[in-house]
Amino acid sequence: MTPTRKRRLTAVLVIIFGVSIAAVVAMSALNENMLFFVSPTDVEEQSLPAGKRFRLGGLVAAESVSRAEDSLAVTFVVTDGAYSVDVRFDGILPDLFREGQGIIAIGQLTPDGHFEADEVLAKHDENYMPPEVADALEKAGHVESE
Amino acid sequence: MTVELGQISLMAALLTALVLGLVPMIGTYTGNRRFMAVSTTAALIQCLLLMISFGILTAAFVVQDFSVEYVARNSNSLLPMHYRFSAVWSAHEGSLLLWELILAVWIAAVALFSKRLPEVFRARVLAVLGWISVGFLLFILLTSNPFGRLIPSAVEGLDLNPLLQDFGLIIHPPLLYMGYVGFSVAFAFAVAALLGGEVNRDWVRWSRPWTLIAWAFLTIGIALGSWWAYYELGWGGYWFWDPVENASFMPWLVGTALIHSQAVTEKRGAFGNWTLLLALSAFSLSLLGTFLVRSGVLTSVHAFASDPTRGIFILAYLGIVVGSSLTLYAIRAPKMIQGGGFAGTSRETFLLINNLVFAVMAAMVLTGTLYPLLIDAMGAGKISVGPPYFGLLFTWLLVPMVLALPIGIFTRWQKDTGSRLAGMLRWPMAMALVFGAGVWIMEPEIGFVSAAGVTGGAWVIFGSIFYVGHLLSRKNSLKIPGSVLAMTLAHVGLGVFLIGLSLVSTLSTEKHLRMEAGDKYQMVDYTFEFLGTKIVQGPNYTADEGEFVVYKGDKEVTRLYPQKREYAQRGNTMTEAAIDPGFTRDLYVSLGEPLDQNGRAWAVRVYHKPFIRWIWLGSIFMMLGGILAAANKRYRRKMPATKPVNTGTKEVTA
C-alpha cells in the first residue's frame, strides 16, 4: 500500500467509525423520543403503564369541558365513540379546541386512571381531522355525522 | 372565459416545456446548432405563458370571481385587497402554480444569463430543466388544476384561512420556493455534466452562483417561516421540528454541504463525485419535501388538503427523478476526473468535516421524519418523533462543525501545519473563551451547554473577523476579495444565530396565567398590567382586544394589544400575539381564552424572550453572504473551456 492509500484508508475508517457512532446515538435518541398514538379504546384494552408518555387522540366529548374557578386547570373527556378517557390539563388550550373537535393530547396516565396532558394540539383547519384520530374513530365504529 | 385562457396558457406551457426538453437535447447529440438554440426561445416563451396563467388566476382573485372553485374556497368579498394577491398561493393548487412559475423564471434566467457557457452544455442544462417542468405541469394539469369552474357559481367565497391572512404569508412561500426550486438548476448542471461525461470540473464553477442564490433564498425563506410561526401561531415557538419544516430544512442542510463542496471542487478538483451527488440530492430532497407536504402522508401543522392521487403522482415523479439521476450517476461518475490529493491538515480536510456533519444532520432529520411512516407501514402502530430527538442530535453535531469552522478558514489548501494555525488562532480562541465565560458569569442560569453554545458562536465570529484582519495585514492594502467578505458575513451570521439560539433556549421565561382586568404580573425586570379587553371590528373579523401596560420599574416601556379574532365566514378563532421586539429581548403577550362569562378574566400567555431576534438576524446575514458570494465578478468572466489546474499552495479563498 502506498502512503497515500494508507492515509486514505485511515481517513475512511475514521469516517465510518464516526458515522456509526452517530447512527447508534441517533437510534437510541429516536427510541427514547418516540411517542405512540393511542386511542381511548387502546387505553381501555391495553394496560398502559402509568408514567409512560404517549399521544392520546379522539374527539372532545360534548359538555365535558370544565374549568377551575381560579386557575387555568381544565378537565375534559376524549372519546372515540366506544370508550373515553378523562383528561386533565393545566394551561392554555389551542384556538381550535372545542367540544366535538378532534384533538391530540400529549402526556401520561396517572395511577388513578386519568390522563395528565402537558400539551394539547388541535389542527389549524377546522375541517381537518388528524389522520390518526380519523383512523381511530373509524376503528371504533364512530360514524361522522355531517 | 378568462380563466379558461389561464388553463389554455398552462397547456401551451406544457407543450413548450416538451419542446424545451426534447429539441435541444436532440440537438446536442446530432450537433444541430439550430436545435440547440431553440432552448432559449422555448425557455422564454414558457416563462411568459406561465406568467399569463398566473396573472389570470391572480386577476380572478382580485375581481372575486367566485365561479372559480379555487377562488371561492380561498377568498371572500370582505378579504382586503393585499391578501387577495397572496391568497393565490394559499392552498394547494395555487401554490403549485407558483412553484411552476418560479421554476419557469429560474429557467428563463438560466437561458438569459448563461450565454457564455459552451453551447452543448447549456442546451443540456436547459433541456433537463425542461423535463423537470414537464413533470410539474403534468402534475398541475392532471391532479391540481386551479382553474376549475364551480357550477353554479358561488355567491360568496369561503374566505382565506385566517392564519394565512398575514404579511409573513405574502412573502414566505415565494422565497421558500425560490430556494427549493432553485436547487433544480444545480441539479440540471450536474445532470448535464454527467450526460456529457465532462472530464473537467468547469460545470461546478458555472453552477456555483446559481446554487448560492438558491441557497440564500432557501435560508431566508426558512427564517421567515420561523418568524411567522413565532408571531402568528400565538404561542411563541420559532421551530417545531414539524415534518413540513423538516422537509424544507433537509434541502437546506444538503445545500449548505453543496456550496462548501463546490468550493473544494472548483478550487482543487477534489470531492468531484461527492459534489455531483450533493447537487442531485439537494433537489431530490426538495421534491421529497414537496411529496411529504402535498400527499398528506404526514401529520403536520401545515395541513394541506390531502389527496392520494396527488401523493402517488409526486411519488412516481420523485422516483423517476431520483432513480434516473442516480443511475446516470452510477454509470458516469467513475469516469469523472478526480482532483489532487491533500494532507491531513488542509482546508480540504476541514471542508470534509463540514460536509460530513451536514450530510449526517440531513440523514438524521430524514430518519426522524420518515421513521413514523416506516413504522406505520409495517403496521407497528402510529408514532411521532419528539423534538428532543432532533435537539439532542443537533447539539452534538454542531460541536465538531463549530470547532472546525474557524480553523478551516485559516487553513491553506492542500497542506498546512498545525503550529502555523495555532499561532494565528490562539487570539480568537482566547477571546471566545473569555466572552463565553463572561456571559456565563453574568447569566449563570444558562448552564454549561448554552454557555458552550455562546462560546462557539463567539469563536466563529472572532475567527471569521480575525481572518479578514489577517488578510489585511498580509496584503497591506484595504482591498478584501468579495468572496472573503461573503464568507465572513455568512459565518458571522452563523455565530449570531448560535448565540441567539443558546440564549433564547435557556433564558426565556414563559408563563401561562389567569388574569383579570387590573391584575399585574412581574416577570424578570418587567411588570405586565392587564387593563381589560374591548371589542374591535376588523374588515372581516371581530376581535377581543386586550390592553397591557408594561413597566420597567416605574417607567412605562410599552403598551401591548393582543387580539383574539373571530373570522365570521369560516367561524375560525385566531390569536394575534402582541410583541414588543428588541435587540436584546422580546416581550410577548397573547390571549388564550375568556375564562368567565363577562369577559373580565382571560387565560394569558406572557413571555420574555431574550435575544430571539438574533436567530433571524443571523439568518439574514447568512442570506446576504450567499448573495454576495454569488455576485462575485469571477463568475461573470468569460469562461474558458478548460481551466488550468491550480497546483500552487497559494492561499485561495473558498
| CB-CB contact of B619 with B222 (8 Å) | yes
One-letter amino acid of B292:
L
Question: For B315-350, how does the pLDDT look when each residue is reduced to its tens digit (9 = 90+)?
Answer: 889 899 999 999 999 988 887 766 667 888 899 999
Q: Which residue has the higher pLDDT, B379 or B178?
A: B178
Q: Which residue has the higher pLDDT, B432 or B313?
A: B432
Q: How far apart are CA B39 and CA B412, in angstroms?
A: 41
Instruction: Give pLDDT, residue A98.
Output: 83
What DSSP character marks residue B609?
Answer: E
Name every chain B residue with its beta carbon within 8 A of the beta carbon of A45. Answer: none
| CB-CB contact of B302 with B380 (8 Å) | no
Q: Does residue A96 sit at the B interface (CB-CB below 8 Å)?
A: yes
**C-alpha cell of residue B548:** 397591557
Q: How far apart are CA A106 and CA A120, in angstroms?
A: 6
Indicate the pLDDT class of residue B439, thresholds 50, 70 and 90: very high
| CB-CB contact of A56 with A85 (8 Å) | yes
Question: For A73-86, how does the pLDDT look when each residue is reduced to its tens digit (9 = 90+)?
Answer: 999 999 988 899 99
Indicate the pLDDT class of residue B635, thresholds 50, 70 and 90: confident
Q: How far apart are CA B237 and CA B342, in angstroms?
A: 44
Least confident range of A55-59, B419-423, B474-478, B567-571:
B474-478
Q: How far apart are CA B304 and CA A54, in angstroms?
A: 25
Q: Find the mean pLDDT for residues B45-62.
A: 96
Instruction: Give chain B's mean pLDDT.
Output: 89
Q: How far apart are the first and last CA of chain B?
A: 54
**C-alpha cell of residue B2:** 378568462
Closest among B528, B532, B585, B584 to B558, alpha carbons compared:
B528
Indicate the pLDDT class of residue B304, thresholds 50, 70 and 90: very low
Residues of chain B with pLDDT > 90, as a percent, come to: 62
Indicate the pLDDT class of residue B165, thresholds 50, 70 and 90: confident
Residue B75 pLDDT greater than 50, yes or no: yes
Indicate the pLDDT class of residue A37, thresholds 50, 70 and 90: confident
Q: Find the mean pLDDT for residues B530-551.
A: 93
Q: How far apart are CA B59 and CA B53, in angstroms?
A: 10
Q: A–B: how many Cβ contacts below 8 A? A: 96
Q: How far apart are CA A16 and CA B245, in angstroms?
A: 29
Q: Any idea of the CA torsion for B250, B252, B257, B259, to the nearest 10 degrees?
A: 150
Neighbours of A91 (CB within 10 A): 16
Residues of chain B with pLDDT > 70, as a percent, come to: 94
Q: How far apart are CA B547 and CA B565, in angstroms?
A: 15
Q: Does residue A37 sit at the B interface (CB-CB below 8 Å)?
A: yes
The closest CB to that of B574, out of A25, A29, A95, belongs to A95
Q: How far apart are CA B218 and CA B106, in angstroms?
A: 14
Cα-to-chain-centroid distance, residue B335: 33
Q: How far apart are CA A77 and CA A72, in angstroms?
A: 17
Question: For B442-462, how does the pLDDT look when each residue is reduced to its tens digit (9 = 90+)?
Answer: 999 999 999 999 999 999 999
Interface test with A, best of B382, B511, B572 (most A CBs within 10 A): B382
Question: For B211-270, how does the pLDDT look when each residue is reduced to its tens digit (9 = 90+)?
Answer: 999 999 999 999 999 998 898 877 788 898 888 888 899 999 999 999 999 999 988 888
Least confident range of A116-130, B92-106, B513-527:
A116-130
Neighbours of B108 (CB within 10 A): 22
Residue A15 pLDDT greater than 90, yes or no: no
Instruction: Provide the 3-class DSSP secondary structure of residue A50.
Output: coil
Instruction: Give pLDDT, residue B648.
Output: 37
Instruction: Provide the 3-class DSSP secondary structure of residue B593.
Output: strand
Measured CB to CB, residues of chain B less than 8 Å from chain A are 161, 163, 234-235, 296, 299, 301-303, 341, 344, 356, 360, 364, 367-368, 371, 381-389, 392-393, 396-397, 512-514, 570-575, 592-593, 595, 603, 605
Neighbours of A9 (CB within 10 A): 11
Q: Find the mean pLDDT for residues B571-585.
A: 90
Q: Which residue has the higher pLDDT, B102 or B475?
A: B102
Residue B463 pLDDT greater than 90, yes or no: yes
| CB-CB contact of B500 with B612 (8 Å) | yes
Instruction: Give pLDDT, residue B299.
Output: 52
Instruction: Give pLDDT, residue B653.
Output: 41
ipTM of the complex: 0.81
DSSP state string for B293-337: HHH--S--SS-----HHHHHHHHHHHHHHHHHHHHHHHHHGGGSP
Instruction: Give pLDDT, residue A123.
Output: 65
CB-based contacts of B467, cutoff 8 Å, min separation 6? B406, B409, B410, B484, B488
Q: Does residue A5 sit at the B interface (CB-CB below 8 Å)?
A: no
Closest among A77, A43, A124, A57 to B384, alpha carbons compared:
A57
The closest CB to that of B382, out of A30, A37, A70, belongs to A37
Closest among B285, B366, B280 to B326, alpha carbons compared:
B280
Indicate the pLDDT class of residue B51, thresholds 50, 70 and 90: very high
Q: Which residue has the higher pLDDT, A145 or B210?
A: B210
| CB-CB contact of B124 with B192 (8 Å) | yes
One-letter amino acid of A114:
H
Instruction: Give pLDDT, residue B208.
Output: 94
Q: How far apart are CA B394 and CA B398, in angstroms?
A: 6
Question: For B388-419, how does the pLDDT look when each residue is reduced to its tens digit (9 = 90+)?
Answer: 899 988 999 999 999 999 999 999 998 888 88
**C-alpha cell of residue B25:** 437535447
